[in-house]
Structure 1
Amino acid sequence: MSLAKQNFSNVVEDALNQQISLEMTASQTYLAIAAYMGSDTVALPGLEKFFNEQSEEEREHAQHLIDYQNKRGGHAVIPSVPAPTSEWASAKNAVESALQLEKDVNKNLLRMESLAEDQHDPQLVNMLRSKYLKEQVDSIAEIAKLMTQLNRVGGDGLGLHLFDQTLLKSGVKGVIGQV
């Protein structure tokens, strides 16, 4: 038993490990999307860069949760992550997958917040609210706006090329504005 463990239930510890797994899955999925966007058959370097950045951000979330688990006296379980899909019908389809993934991660974070409240764990509730929940809403809004822009420019051709070049040069804020 950890000497640091206090007011940190096994149920909450298991939920944190589940979230670590989700964050790692998201990271791997975004890496797969980046690889797809960077392939010579898709060749969208702006979306490739965006999803590489998203992959790194999700990996950092997993690392933060591992560090938090250790700080609280828990036992972080590093998951085996199944290989994500590596092919999509289109760039639009890949971004739709990313949007659904962000919503799934958000749903799990909200479940974990509720569980932490039920387990009388104010430290975890505070950490989730201050670090993850607002950021998750912002990520969903950001990807939803990317989706709207992709719908507007069409799924192929010059519009998609110009969209991607703007994303590459100006980043996501240059394409969608502030979230």
Structure 2
Amino acid sequence: MALAKQNFSTNAEEAINQQIEVEQTASQTYQAIAAWFARDNVALPGLAAFFQKQSQEESKHAQLLINYQNMRGGRVILNNVPQPETEWTSAKNAVESSLELEKAVNKSLLNLTSLAEDQNDHQLGNFLKQIFLVEQVQSIEELAKMVTQLNRVGGDGLGLHLWDQELLKNGKIAV
């Protein structure tokens, strides 16, 4: 048993490993979406850059969980990440898929937080609340606004091009 392990259940350890996989899956999915937007027949560089950044953020989350698992005396077990989709029908479809993914990641984090609370693991609960949960709500809101704006500008054409150029210029959506 690890010397640092205290009030850290096997269930919490396993759930953190599952959350690491969820974060890595999200990272790879966003990488695939970024690559799709960068293709010559899609050519939306603002969305490509946005999702590249999202991929890096999810990868950072996985690393934070790996570091936390080690700090608490747990064992990190990395599982194979499922291959993400590589095709979307439109920019809106890709962003809607991302919104659903963020909601799934949030649900997984909420389940992990509930487990921590059920096990009286205040350190894990506080870590998740301070580092992950607020950011998840912000990501969900940002993607929801992007879907709304994509509905407004239309599925393709000049409106989408101008919206994407604004995203590329500012690195975030206009609110």
**1:171: Cα distance to partner?**
1.5
CA-CA distance at 1:162 after TM superposition? 0.2
Counterpart amino acid of 2:91?
A: A
- Any stretches of 5+ residues in structure 2 without a counterpart? none
Q: Answer whether contact 1:34 1:49 (CA < 8 A) is retained.
A: yes
TM-score by length of 2: 0.99
Distance, in Å, in 1 between the alignment partners of 2:57 and 2:134 is: 15
CA contact (8 A) 1:24 1:58 kept: yes
1:8-87 to structure 2, matched below 5 A, reads 8-87=8-87
1:145–1:176 CA contact under 8 A, matched in 2 = no
Q: Distance in 2 between matches of 1:79 and 1:66?
A: 13
Q: Which 4+ residue blocks in structure 1 deviate beyond 2 angstroms?
A: none
Paired amino acid for 2:75? H
2:68, 2:171 → 1: CA distance?
A: 31
Instruction: In structure 2, give the amino acid aligned to 1:176.
Output: A
> Could you say what secondary structure the match of 2:171 adopts?
helix
Q: Which runs of 5+ in 1 are unaligned?
A: none
The match for 1:101 is 101
Query: Number of matched residues?
Result: 175
Identity percentage over the alignment?
64
SS in 2 for 1:176: coil
Q: CA deviation at 1:79?
A: 2.0
Structure-2 separation of matches of 1:163 and 1:59: 27
Aligned alpha-carbon RMSD (Å): 0.6
Residues 126-165 of structure 1: matches in 2 within 5 Å? Answer: 126-165=126-165
Q: Is the 8 A contact 1:142 1:176 kept in 2?
A: no
Equivalent of 2:174, from 151, 169, 176? 176
2:79 counterpart SS class: coil
Deviations 1:28-55 (A, max 9, x none): 0000000000000100000000000000
Local SS of the residue matching 2:139: helix
Deviation at 1:165, TM superposition (A): 0.3
Q: What TM-score, normalized to structure 1?
A: 0.96
**Corresponding letter in the other structure for 1:12:** A
CA–CA separation in structure 2 for the residues paired with 1:20 and 1:110: 14
